[in-house]
Structure 1
Amino acid sequence: MLQTSRSTPKPSSKMVQRLLGPGLVTGAADDDPSGIATYSQAGAQFGYDLLWTVFLTTPFMIAIQLVSARIGRVTGKGLAANVVELAPRWLVLALIFLLVAANTFNIAADIAAMGESLALVIGGLTHEHALIFASVSILLQVFVPYHRYAPVLKVLTLTLFAYVITALTVNIPWSTALLAAVWPRPTVGANYFLMVVAVLGTTISPYLFFWQASQEVEEMRRSPAHPPLREVAKGGKLELHRIRIDTTVGMIFSNAIAFFIILTTAAVLNANGVTNINSATQAAEALRPLAGNFTFLLFALGIIGTGLLAIPVLAGSAAYGVAEAFGWQATLEAKAPDAIGFYTIIAAATVIGFSLGFTGIDAIHMLVWSAVLNGIVAVPIMAMMMAIVSNKRLMGRFKARSWLVILGWLGTGLMAIAVIALFWSLFA
């Protein structure tokens, strides 16, 4: 046990720069092109009637991502490495396999959407554009060390403001929209209920858990003066405070963007009778004749920007999970020859995702399979996370407080209900 005291450290410029990091990037990555498609469908099909869902999911999203970040920072290990200590290895490997499969299908849908969006903006062939995006993503992750790549990811979060600006370019009846958000009048029916489930599944996704825990470990490794918190005799509150601010801001930012996407598509598409949207690019294309070229351009460029952010998170979270489960080196700071297994998973997930675009499988089917696999993975992983964060042996004096445990278990229960509903809808 180290005897270093950290009870009264003063905030430094370096700490200010780190204040918004893993939590912000994780939250922004949740609004990937596949998520944009889900939110666009919610707005187009049901207008303002599903705006309330972003308020429902926000506290649970904050809680479960706080748990994820806390596990990484306190233990100094990623989520998979901690889960191995509690669950049978065969179960962990099975869940990791499903995570990798779900992420790969998600990557496929995202890369395809990015290629289609760029083709809509500048012309050209969608597959060639998709190849460029996939290649750039792999090269950046493999050859750019984490301390240089992390700022790039932070900058990419700014592209999501395109959806805030988009909302400001269209005519929105704000009183009607805000009233629907705080006093919803749900349309009772299977389609409505399934869209609620889709929004829940899009907002709370397993890949976000693995990514944020591992990013906290990456941040910790950047400075020898920041050991795992459970190895520190005193203090640690400043780091937990940073995590709370970073995660809370990141998740609120994520759901605020979802709010504006639903708002825009409700005000333009639903209001003009366009209610069937199956992809983010279809939403962008539908906006052009109804809201003008500028609104279309912002929406389409937003798809590309958030895709550049989300693909590394999807591929990286899969690689962290596999590498930690097998005990391989798992860090974006390592050079390629020193972490071959880790970088192989990143490259393989991205390449296979890109290749799926040539199989004729449409993006909707890939998203359905991704949702099903995420559903299988999400609830047991969330339950294990809650067991870890409540475990005195693993967390030491940083065992989670009651409010976080209660909120985390409520979020786990909510996801369990959503998953049951998803399977019922698909197989009933």
Structure 2
Amino acid sequence: MTSNAPGAGLRGTTVVAAGMMVSNVTVYGFSVASARLLVPAELGAVTALLGILLIGNVLSLGLQATTARRLAIDPEHQGEVIGVVRRVTVLAGLAGGAVVAAASVVLTPALKLDSPVPVLLCGLTLVPLTIMGAQAGIAQGTEQWQLLARIYVANGVGRLLCGAAALVIDPSTTSAMVGIAVGACVPVLAGLPVLKAPSTPTTAASRRPFITEAFHGTHALLAYFVLSSADSLIARNQFDEHDSGLYAAGLILTKAALFLPQFVSVVLFPALARDTTSRSRLRAVSLVAACCALAVAATAILPRLALVLVGGPQYEEIADRLWLFALSGSCLALANVLVLDALARRAHGVVALIWVAVGVVGGVAYGTDVHITGLVVTVGAVSGVLAAALGLAPLVTRRRAASDRSTTPH
């Protein structure tokens, strides 16, 4: 199933890029529908809940990354890996959903919600999303690019159609989360073929290394998504409802810039896992940086068009600051591809750097009187510094290892 031919790689990039573009456009379409159909106060609540969902979804992404890496570097044991994934996935999804549901006691007042039901729906949504992550990991690791693209398309289309339909029926926070939960089941249906692939029986001993690696990967991704979602939660908690809604509208551009180049890391992840040099990493970072530069430039040059894309005239107050949101998302995108590169190399020590970045954002946000501009600039600056640190970390490690070898007596 795996092909390393240049032509196959180019076709894979094209197919996955197209699939992820459709997914991102449709997910963005749901964000625009929310901005159009909800008042700013309700939009702020939905955006904060999507931040919770994004953080909880690290289970899905951790399983995807671990599954893809193991299949990429050890295709001879494909059946065993798939068998382990089947056993672990549902339990992981149920556990993640239960944790979020239990946290509703804290999250409901923190997010100024009238009911815990939207948070409970977040927990429910995590179950199909986790299954989707396992399916995507198998397709990614075996380089079944067309199937992977179908899974991504189904995810976006499911959210747009089900979420928008729910909002048309009842434009409320709870209704939006019901639509998202139903839509999350669509990609699971699209990805069913990968779970029917032949597998071999597994034991607790054979599952343990996979679970350990998935835990470390999930931890790193958890830290990253706490960083990338922190400002939506801080805005909802710290700002008044109107300003949190304005910030939520700006975050539509942040997420667009963040997810625009995501296809790069998805397609190159198997190569990052196999590459013992820095070539694949430099290629990935260069492609992501080019996409990000395009997003920021377009937003800065066409601010009125950007305003239309985030919800229209009711968000006029932030029109001249929308490029800052695009820049913040771009810095997060660069950090994201470098975090995934670290996971591909099993360099799990980078998680400490990410948590430091989270602490800095929280410290600045709650320790100073930041408002809309201050918060988005803080996230962008911290993410940019983090990306630079993650990019330099492998070089420092390699030089240190070379120095140690040169000083070791033979």
TM value normalised by structure 1 = 0.29
TM value normalised by structure 2 = 0.30
Query: RCO higher in 1 or 2 (8 Å CA, sep ≥ 6)?
Result: 1
